[in-house]
Structures are given as C-alpha cells and as structure tokens.
Chain A
Amino acid sequence: MIHPTAEHYLVLSGILFSIGLFGLFVRRHILIMLLCLELMLNAANLALITASSVHGQTDGQIVSFFVMVIAAVEVTIGLAIAVLLFKEKNTVDTEQMTSLKG
C-alpha cells in the first residue's frame, strides 16, 4: 500500500470538489444543491489543512476553522431562503422558479 503524501490529499480534495461542482450543476433539488455546496467547502478545507501540514504550521487549520464558521452562516441563510421558496412556489425544483426569466 502506498504511503499517503501531500499530493494524495490534494488530489482527493480536488476529486471531492469536482463531485460537488458537478452535483451543483446537474441536480435541481435546492437542498441537494446546498449539500453539494457544503461538500465543495469541505474539499477546500481539506486542501487548507494539507497545506498546513506541508508547512508544519497551524495557520491553515485556523483558516479552515473560519471557513467552517462562514459555512454555518451560509447554510443558515440558504436554508431560510429554501424554506421561503418552498412556501411561495410549493416546489423544490429550481427549474420551476422562473419569476426572473425574461
């Protein structure tokens, strides 16, 4: 078995980020789109913590801590907007939210 190096962690972070981005593009359920956003933020966190280990300092871990806090705020407001949209349109499919379509 290959011993994991920094490249392994970075490639894993890239894979998770791409899966999240792909999910954001192809799924139309608003909650699953938010879940994919969370996945992308976590992939970025993994890259930050890997960078922290590469340099042997804790600064990357502190930045990832801040990212977590900001993600929590983002998910609170995002879920509030999702609940409002569901009450307004009675659907979670973002294809049917066409009020701004010209």
Chain B
Amino acid sequence: MATVFFWIASVLAVASALSILFVKKPTRALLALLVCMICLGVLYTLLHAYFVAIVHLIVYAGAVLVLFLFVIMLEGLGATTLPIQRRFSPLHLALTATAGLIFSFFIVKILCSSKLPALQNAAGTVENIGKNLFTNYLLPFELVAVLILVGIFAAVSLIKPENKKS
C-alpha cells in the first residue's frame, strides 16, 4: 500500500513540477505547485513525519500559495511573459537537457553504489518533535521567532507609501 502511494505521489509531484516550467499563466503554475505540495505532504507522511506533513500543508497550501494568489490577482491579467518555447531556441534547450541528463546519470549511479541503511521509523509525532524542539533546539526556535518578526517589519516598511517631501 505504502509502495503504491509512493509511486503515485512521486510521479504526480514530478509531473506537476515540470508543468510549472511550461504553463503560460501564473495561476496555473500556482495550482501545479499546489498539487506538488500535496504530493510532498503524502511523501512526508510515508516517512512518518506526521507533524511536519501537516504543518507543511497548512503553511504552504494554506498561507504561502494564497499569498501568491493575492499578488497574482493584484497584478492582473496583463502581467504575462513569453513562454520558454519562444524565448529560447529548441536546439539550445535540447543541448542543455542532454548535458543535464548525462551529469544526473552519473550522480544517480554514485548515489546507488553507496549503500544507505534502510529507512527506520523516526516517528515525528507532536510529542517527539515538541520534546526535541523545546530541549535541544530551543535557541534556534527563539531566533526563528525573532526572524519572522523582522520579516513582518521588512514587508510592512517595503510596502508603506513614502512621505514625499517636494
């Protein structure tokens, strides 16, 4: 069962990620990324990272992608660019893809020749994650809280209209 889910989710994730490259409208790219995020959530669940999977769905599908959607709506329909088929010549794209495939073949070969240990059940339940987060990772947790506060300040001060003195 888990095997079937892995293959469905990984094929869907790669297909939707590829469609980001080729679609013309940004809204469709956004929805393709949403499919990819949900597939990644399935994969996290298969790796027993339950807490991270749910947080991933809430943060990405719930917050980040909706923020993107707002900006796309703000910029309107006129905000489109050329598709890559017309910007780059197919010959150059094919050459680049071939070079990339050759290099990635060697990387996969090296990766599969080194035997990694089998996957274990690192149960990422709320209890385990919380215990580890609030004992060993307390300082990074607090620093990240400061970082997100600074991020809010930066976004507000960027968008705020300037006082023009003229």
Which A residues lie at the B interface, using CB under 8 A?
1-12, 14-16, 18-20, 22-23, 26-29, 31-32, 34-36, 38-39, 42, 45-46, 49-50, 52-62, 64-66, 68-77, 79-84, 86, 91-93
One of B20, B100, B128, B152 near A39 (C-beta < 8 A):
B20
Bound complex: CA of A50 vs CA of B118, how far in Å?
11
- Least CB distance from A18 to B in Å reads 7
Query: Given contacts A19-B14, A75-B67, A86-B79, is CB(A80)–CB(B159) below 8 Å?
Result: yes
Min distance, Cβ A97 to any Cβ of chain B, angstroms: 12
Closest A-chain residue to B75, C-beta based?
Answer: A86
Whether A11 and B119, one on each chain, are in contact in the complex, defined by CB atoms closer than 8 angstroms, is no
CB A91 to nearest CB in B, in angstroms, measures 7
Chain A interface mostly: helix
Total residues of chain B contacting the partner, CB 8 A: 79
Q: Are A91 and B79 in contact (CB under 8 A)?
A: yes
For chain B, what secondary structure do more than half of its interface residues adopt (helix, strand, loop), or is it mixed? helix
B116 near A76 with CB under 8 A, answer no
Contacts of B93 in A (CB 8 A): 26
Please give me the residue from chain B that is nearest to A86 by CB atom: B75
Contact of B44 among A49, A74, A79, A91 (CB under 8 A): A49
Q: A29-B79, A86-B75 are in contact. List 19 more A-B contacts (CB 8 A).
A: A5-B119, A6-B117, A16-B17, A19-B17, A26-B88, A38-B33, A39-B17, A42-B36, A55-B122, A56-B121, A58-B132, A61-B124, A65-B51, A66-B140, A69-B144, A83-B75, A84-B159, A86-B79, A92-B80
**A-B CB proximity, top 8 nearest:** A73-B151, A56-B120, A80-B158, A4-B6, A6-B116, A92-B79, A29-B81, A19-B17
Whether A53 contacts B120 by the Cβ 8 Å rule is yes
Report the minimum CB–CB distance from A81 to chain B (whole Å): 7
Known: A70-B147, A83-B71. A28 touches B29 (CB 8 A): no
Pairwise interchain contact A76-B67, C-beta atoms closer than 8 A: yes
Query: Contacting B52 at CB < 8 Å: which of A6, A65, A93?
Result: A65
A61 touches B122 (CB 8 A): yes
